[in-house]
């Protein structure tokens, strides 16, 4: 995305940046919660992606407790 010389007031630019920052933080918090929540769900693909101890799909599938 190319930045053109801004014609909007300085306060508007600052407000936009503040909103972007808050949105980034909210997304990060949400993703953290999703990963933490999914980590204990049986059959979830996420633990394999975020946990280094899971090396292969078949191994992690065998270790998953069946409910």
pTM of the shown model: 0.44
Task: Return the structure tokens found at 52.
Answer: 């280094």
Task: Name the CA radius of gyration of the chain, rounded.
Answer: 20
Domain assignments of the chain as residue spans, ordered by start: 10-63
Q: What is the mean pLDDT of the chain?
A: 72
Residue 49, pLDDT score: 54
Percent of the chain with pLDDT over 70: 48
The pLDDT tens digits of the residues spanning 24-40 come to 999 999 998 888 877 66
CA distance 13 to 8: 7
């Amino acid at each position: 995305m190319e930045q053109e010389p801004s014609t909007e007031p300085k306060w508007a630019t600052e407000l936009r940046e503040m909103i972007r920052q808050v949105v980034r933080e909210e997304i990060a918090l949400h993703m953290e919660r999703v990963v933490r929540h999914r980590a204990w769900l049986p059959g979830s693909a996420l633990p394999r992606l975020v946990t280094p101890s899971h090396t292969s799909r078949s191994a992690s599938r065998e270790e998953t407790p069946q409910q």
